[in-house]
Chains A and B, each alone.
Chain A
Amino acid sequence: MRRKKSSIVWIQGITCNGDSHSFYNYESMKSFSKDFEMLYHPLLLLKKSFQEIIEGEDAFDFLIIEGALSKDKSIIERFGYGMEDIVDALSKRAKHIICAGSCACYGGVFRLRDEKSIFGLLFSGKQKGGYWKDSSNVINLSGCPVHPSWIVDTLYALKENKKVITDEFLRPKEIYAYLAHHGCIRNEYFEWKVDCKGFGHKEGCLFYEQGCLGPMTHANCNKILWNNVSSKTRVGSPCVGCTEFDFPRKSLYETQTNMSLPQAPVGISKRAYYALAGVAKGFKIERLEKRLMDEDN
């Protein structure tokens, strides 16, 4: 006998729809839809209209918020409702609230336009306090976009009343305790400080010249992969740090350096990192300087 389906209302603030598109690329949607029911989603034609959902009184399990929020109706409104009407009405009826994507978590790219009026639900960039000052039933799933498995896994954990341990930004540690660097197949190039000279190359580490933020970005992209197949760094494109509060940073594809010295990976002192990096870079490892598939050999 199947268990009762959990209900979801998905709303959008200021958004590009990216998190919705990512979510609907989930590989096992058929199985997921046996356990969850979408009561409302802006991109789907469902039984109830937006107005009926807002005006209704029924409780539901999950309110998923996609996109940055603003209390200023001239910036964002939906069918004549300001976000205050929408979020405040729906949040009272939701058991759990999930911010899907970095815009809903921190304000994201849209916040850069007006940091005083546009924010995430509970954070404005790094600062605690966004649309709301605080709330006890919010989980942040940052990312641009959020990985569909992060949403699904979190929904299942909450549905099954499992304790979801979160970090300082209210993100599940099961996902965000990892760094995008973990599982990167270029780790040997990182260890020996061998640069990647361009996008799409099989060889080299993208951290030193191409702007890769894998060693300072909390996400398990190289553990669970995207579409179960690959990740940015695996195909030769730098991690742009999309799960962090300061995303998007300027010059995403350039490593920001001081005197050609990159930022140290998260939690590692500059002294330790520079000592190790300086020593490693002093060795020329011929195998790592060569193409992986050398046509001359």
Chain B
Amino acid sequence: MTANKLKELKDRALKVREHIIRLSTDGGSFTGASLSCADLIVFLYSGFLNISKEKLNDPDRDFLLLSKGHDVPALYGMFVELGWMEKSRLDNHLKASDHIYWHPNRNIPGIEFHSGSLGHLPAVSLGIAMDCRIRGGQNRVIVITGDGELDEGSVWETLHVASAYKMNNFTLVVDRNHFQANMRTEDLIPLEPLEDKFKAFGCEVRRINGHDFEQLEETFFQLPFSNHKPSVIIADTMRGKGLPSIQERADRWFCNFTNDEVDSLLKELHGENETILTSETLIVR
């Protein structure tokens, strides 16, 4: 990766994180989970995926589905940076007159499918991958799941089927931020050794640092990892990445910051002092 490209991606990721922070007030957002997958989403839409707003009807394009739908602020932030969505539209967050709320809605151009109920989009993505195969297309279908989401049996059921059908155009990416809603995954339903589990389900697995653009590039451009297996990428990430004041804090799952906190967090994102947070913690949504 050239130094220019790396800088471009990092700058973009900062912009996307700014959007996420701004979406975390006046009703709030799932900030931490959005921040953890921000780099992943920035990488995928910055030259890897064959998708553009103009090409949504192109039969040869790629597909990205967000199964952990509560991180949709990262996607909307990216859509703004790509020019797919007016920045001002983010002001409609949680207004019933628009479709921008805590989970994705496919009325927003670029959103492939709604999600919010965990464990669904691996199967929906596999259906899309199956359609691509029937057509004889070279499309790549990528689904991002959370790590807590892996508690859902339907994820594993779908991997079983994807393996049986040798779906090499299907890739499942785990945003392994090590937290589920209230606590560390390993303190509730331990997931490790995760690579072994995916391998046992017939997948070809890579594990990388999900915040390292060079690793992301190196790994994603190797897809498919096998010609007769589905691919899995475990992207180790950090919940709340970029904001030390909420990073890896179990009580900062859903965040509804005050306007002052937002201002301070935007500075914190750019390297200034940690924010003293006074807004409510452990908000249940």
- The answer on A and B forming one complex is no
Residues of A within 8 A of B (CB): none
